[in-house]
Chain A
Amino acid sequence: MLEIDNLSVKVDEKNILKKINMEIKDGETHALLGPNASGKSTLVYTMMGFPNYKVTGGKIVFNGKDITDLPIEERTKLGIASAFQHPPSIKGLKLSKLLEKIGRRTIDTEKFSVGTDLLEREVNVNFSGGERKLSEIIQVIALNPNFVIFDELGAGLDVENLEKLSSLIKSELYDKSILLITHRGRILKFLKPNIAHVIIDGEIVCSSEDWKKTWETIRRYGYEKCRECELRSDRL
């Protein structure tokens, strides 16, 4: 499905990602854990092809095709989508209009508990944290992708909302490949990743099938422990 091969990325002349490797197979869910400013969001924007994120080495391959230099919209057309942590507000553009324009799949608003009120509001303008996440997830589902990135899905959500959104993802994207980007890890117990990676200072320092152990280590000792903990031997 998706292969990141020795990927190095520069933003504003600063090296952020250093030789990242990751392989996400069909239907797998991976988690990328890391502290603030470790390069998680940089990886999201690079995978999506945002122009300010310059690839200085390595490549991204999606379904056998090198997409490293592909424009953003071409990647989306191939089946990659992202729910962003900080999507911009777009004055004047209603969410319903955006969905109408981008939709490759009809959205059952009742099933998704999306009030007509939210659909008739301007995209991300004065949305609450929960509404913003819901809007992102609906858009992603409407795109009917094969591979989805969720950037900090749990941030700013209470447990009830997190559970609600997680079950929405499980029911609507159950057969898709998923990359969960997270700082706090609360989402992991809902979406149970196959593999958890830890990124620190732009480098993946650990990749493990035992996400529970990985998260427990981080929770107890902090991210710095990942640099030298015993789970390193579990690295894939």
Chain B
Amino acid sequence: MKNVGNANYVQIDYEIQTHENEGTTILPSPEAYRRFKWTKEYFNEKPKEGYFIWARKSSDRPLITRISISSKNVSQNPANLVVIEKDVKARIYSICNAVKKDLCGNHVGSSKIILKENSRLVMNHFHRWGKEDRVNSGLEIFLGNGSEISDVYKCLEVPMRLNMENNIYLEEGSSANLVMTILAKHGEVKMHDSTFLNGRGSRGISRIRMIGDEKSRIVAHSRMIANDAGTGHVDCMGLLLAEDSSINAIPELVNNNKDASLTHEASVGKISEEVLNYLRSRGLTEDQAIDLVVAGFLGEEDPIVIEGQVIPLKSYM
């Protein structure tokens, strides 16, 4: 198996390859489960596949994981565990995809991220699936005191069915900034994320960007729960591009502490005529104007840079 772009963990169908960075242990999860007894408290059960990343030293070099489906009727069940030690800074690019559109794959992934005291993680997930795939993913993030995470999830080609559940738990002085971007076309997406502000001074932001194109249905339920004096913001924005698409955005604020402050904003609609006419007055056709608004809505891609070299995302897909 060719290791493209020095990815640290590559799983294609069931075949696995790992490559360690200095100061970071990277193993298939079953091996980590065997070698490190302490991991048992984090894995819900004995893992069958998936990656284990244990960052003990800060590094400028990003870690890259890739889990791909490349054959028909593959069923993957990765259980991933990421542990960032105290005061360590890390960056991870996590890619999951089907290399063809008609593989009828099944991907059931669960990930757990542990950030110890004052650690920092920038995590970018890029997902791309085939029209007949089924995907279920669960993500849990535990933030220790003073730790920070920026977690960006982007899926611009959704499977037939995508279910996601994210739970984020914040301790004192920690912060989480989550951005989830979905472009759904010919697919059904259900997203459910909950951010628990469990420590004083914790800060949570959850932003969801959804685009509903032809024959798509998106339900996004985003909750911010304050159990201590933290601040939280939920932001759900949806753009409908087709008559046969629908978006159900449900922001929810639960405040159990009088010193906490929670806010939300939400909007779902089509691109306004006013915006389209304005862009047309700049010489763009209506289709060009729609493309530009959609591209802006989806946000720019953070390029993968390894030792100063920019590596196109598509080389991992």
Q: Which of A71, A84, A122 contacts B278 (CB 8 A)?
A: A84
A64, B252: Cα distance in complex, Å: 59
Tell yes or no: A82 within 8 A of B by CB: yes
A84, B293: Cα distance in complex, Å: 19
A87, B281: Cα distance in complex, Å: 11
A48, B280: Cα distance in complex, Å: 10
Known contacts being A72-B280, A76-B281, A102-B283, is A88 close to B274, with CB within 8 Å?
Answer: yes
Q: Are A73 and B285 interface neighbours, CB within 8 A?
A: yes
Within 8 A of B (CB), among A74-121: 76-77, 81-82, 84, 87-88, 90-94, 97-98, 101-102
Q: Are B292 and A143 interface neighbours, CB within 8 A?
A: no
Tell yes or no: B282 within 8 A of A by CB: yes
How near does chain A come to B193, taking the closest CB pair, in angstroms? 20
Q: Are A92 and B293 interface neighbours, CB within 8 A?
A: yes
Chain B residue contacts of A71, Cβ below 8 A: 280
Tell yes or no: B5 within 8 A of A by CB: no
Q: Are B296 and A101 interface neighbours, CB within 8 A?
A: no
Most buried by B among A72, A82, A97: A72
Q: Are A73 and B284 interface neighbours, CB within 8 A?
A: yes
How near does chain A come to B286, taking the closest CB pair, in angstroms? 8
Q: Are A97 and B282 interface neighbours, CB within 8 A?
A: no
Q: Are A88 and B280 interface neighbours, CB within 8 A?
A: no
Within 8 A of A (CB), among B206-256: 209, 237
Known contacts being A93-B293, A97-B292, A98-B292, is A76 close to B280, with CB within 8 Å?
Answer: yes
Q: Are A101 and B274 interface neighbours, CB within 8 A?
A: no
| 0/1 string, B261-295, CB within 8 A of A gives 1 | 00000000000111101111111110010001101
Chain A residue contacts of B293, Cβ below 8 A: 90, 92-93
> Closest residue of chain A to B267, judged by CB?
A91
Chain B residue contacts of A156, Cβ below 8 A: none
Tell yes or no: B298 within 8 A of A by CB: yes
Tell yes or no: A50 within 8 A of B by CB: yes
How near does chain A come to B131, taking the closest CB pair, in angstroms? 26
> Closest residue of chain A to B277, judged by CB?
A50
A22, B279: Cα distance in complex, Å: 27
Tell yes or no: B299 within 8 A of A by CB: yes
Q: Which of A82, A90, A101 contacts B281 (CB 8 A)?
A: A82
Tell yes or no: A222 within 8 A of B by CB: no
Tell yes or no: B14 within 8 A of A by CB: no
Tell yes or no: B153 within 8 A of A by CB: no
> Closest residue of chain B to A97, judged by CB?
B296
Q: Are A92 and B281 interface neighbours, CB within 8 A?
A: no
How near does chain A come to B276, taking the closest CB pair, in angstroms? 9
- Inter-chain contact total with CB atoms closer than 8 Å: 65
A39, B195: Cα distance in complex, Å: 51
Tell yes or no: A139 within 8 A of B by CB: yes
Within 8 A of B (CB), among A173-202: none
Q: Are A91 and B237 interface neighbours, CB within 8 A?
A: yes
Known contacts being A90-B293, A91-B297, is A48 close to B281, with CB within 8 Å?
Answer: yes
Most buried by A among B273, B292, B299: B292
Most buried by A among B273, B275, B295: B275
A72, B237: Cα distance in complex, Å: 28
How near does chain B come to A196, taking the closest CB pair, in angstroms? 25
A153, B103: Cα distance in complex, Å: 58
How near does chain A come to B68, taking the closest CB pair, in angstroms? 29
Chain B residue contacts of A92, Cβ below 8 A: 209, 293, 296-299
A71, B281: Cα distance in complex, Å: 9
Known contacts being A51-B277, A72-B277, A88-B275, is A122 close to B296, with CB within 8 Å?
Answer: yes
Q: Are B298 and A143 interface neighbours, CB within 8 A?
A: no
Chain A residue contacts of B277, Cβ below 8 A: 50-51, 72
Q: Are B296 and A102 interface neighbours, CB within 8 A?
A: no
How near does chain B come to A80, taking the closest CB pair, in angstroms? 9
Q: Which of B282, B297, B298 contacts A76 (CB 8 A)?
A: B282
Q: Are B282 and A98 interface neighbours, CB within 8 A?
A: yes
How near does chain B come to A130, taking the closest CB pair, in angstroms? 19
Q: Are A90 and B284 interface neighbours, CB within 8 A?
A: no
| 0/1 string, A43-54, CB within 8 A of B gives 1 | 000001011000
Q: Are A93 and B283 interface neighbours, CB within 8 A?
A: no
Chain A residue contacts of B283, Cβ below 8 A: 73, 76-77, 102, 143
Within 8 A of B (CB), among A195-227: none
Interface set of B (CB-CB < 8 Å, partner A): 209, 237, 272-275, 277-285, 288, 292-293, 295-299
Interface set of A (CB-CB < 8 Å, partner B): 48, 50-51, 71-73, 76-77, 81-82, 84, 87-88, 90-94, 97-98, 101-102, 122, 139, 143
Would you list 17 pairs from A and B whose C-beta atoms are within 8 A, ordered by A residue?
A48-B281, A73-B283, A73-B284, A73-B285, A81-B281, A82-B281, A87-B278, A90-B279, A90-B293, A91-B297, A92-B296, A92-B298, A92-B299, A93-B292, A93-B296, A98-B282, A101-B288
Starting from the known contacts A73-B281, A94-B296, A102-B284, 16 additional A-B residue pairs (CB-CB under 8 Å) come to A50-B281, A76-B280, A77-B283, A81-B281, A84-B278, A90-B275, A91-B237, A91-B296, A91-B297, A92-B209, A92-B296, A92-B297, A93-B296, A98-B282, A101-B284, A102-B282
